[in-house]
Structure 1
Amino acid sequence: MVWETLNIIGTIAFAISGAIVAIEEKYDILGVLVLGFVTAFGGGAIRNLLIGAPVSLLWDQALLFSLALVTIIIVFLLKDVWINYLKRVIIFDAMGLAAFAIQGAMLANENGLPLVAVATAAVLTGSGGGMVRDVLAGRKPVIFRDEIYALWAMLAGLVIGLGLITAPFMFYTLFVIIVVLRMLSVRFNWTLPKYSDVQKIYK
Structure 2
Amino acid sequence: MIWDVLNVVGTIAFAISGALIATEEDYDILGVYVLGFVTAFGGSTIRNLLIGIPIENIWTQGDLFVVVFLVITVVFLLPNAWVQYWNKWGIFFDAIGLASFAIQGSLSAVQVGAPLSAILVAATLTGSGGGMVRDVLAGRKPMIFRADIYALWATLAGLMIGLELVSGLWQTSALFVAIVTLRMCSVRFKWGLPRHPLW
TM tier relative to shorter chain:
over 0.9
Q: Which runs of 4+ in 1 moved over 4 A?
A: none
Residues 148-167 of structure 1: matches in 2 within 5 Å? Answer: 148-167=149-168
C-alpha separation in 1, matches of 2:189 and 2:93: 18
Q: Is the 8 A contact 2:120 2:158 kept in 1?
A: yes
Structure 1 position 18, deviation (Å): 0.3
Which position in structure 2 is the counterpart of 1:84?
84
- Over the matched positions of the two proteins, sequence identity in percent amounts to 61
SS of the equivalent of 2:140 reads coil
C-alpha separation in 2, matches of 1:35 and 1:166: 33
Which position in structure 1 is the counterpart of 2:55?
55
Residues 25-36 of structure 1: matches in 2 within 5 Å? Answer: 25-36=25-36
Which position in structure 1 is the counterpart of 2:14?
14
Which position in structure 2 is the counterpart of 1:113?
114
C-alpha separation in 2, matches of 1:69 and 1:163: 36
SS of the equivalent of 1:195 reads coil
Number of equivalences: 198
Which position in structure 1 is the counterpart of 2:196?
195
SS of the equivalent of 1:73 reads helix
C-alpha separation in 2, matches of 1:183 and 1:86: 16
Which position in structure 2 is the counterpart of 1:44?
44
Structure 1 position 188, deviation (Å): 0.4
C-alpha separation in 2, matches of 1:24 and 1:50: 32
C-alpha separation in 1, matches of 2:86 and 2:60: 30
C-alpha separation in 2, matches of 1:157 and 1:3: 14
Structure 1 position 28, deviation (Å): 0.6
In structure 1, what residue type is equivalent to 2:111? E
Task: Give the TM-score normalised by the residue count of structure 2.
Answer: 0.97
In structure 2, what residue type is equivalent to 1:25? E
C-alpha separation in 2, matches of 1:166 and 1:27: 42
C-alpha separation in 2, matches of 1:4 and 1:42: 17
In structure 2, what residue type is equivalent to 1:183? M
In structure 1, what residue type is equivalent to 2:104? Q
Worse-matched range after superposition: 32-41 or 132-141: 132-141
Q: Is the 8 A contact 2:161 2:167 kept in 1?
A: no
C-alpha separation in 2, matches of 1:168 and 1:52: 26
> Any unmatched runs of 5+ in structure 2?
none
Structure 1 position 86, deviation (Å): 1.6
Q: Is the 8 A contact 2:124 2:154 kept in 1?
A: yes
C-alpha separation in 2, matches of 1:25 and 1:43: 22
In structure 1, what residue type is equivalent to 2:114? L
Which position in structure 2 is the counterpart of 1:96?
97
In structure 2, what residue type is equivalent to 1:63? D
In structure 2, what residue type is equivalent to 1:192? L
C-alpha separation in 2, matches of 1:146 and 1:116: 25
Structure 1 position 88, deviation (Å): 1.4
Structure 1 position 166, deviation (Å): 2.8
In structure 2, what residue type is equivalent to 1:168? L
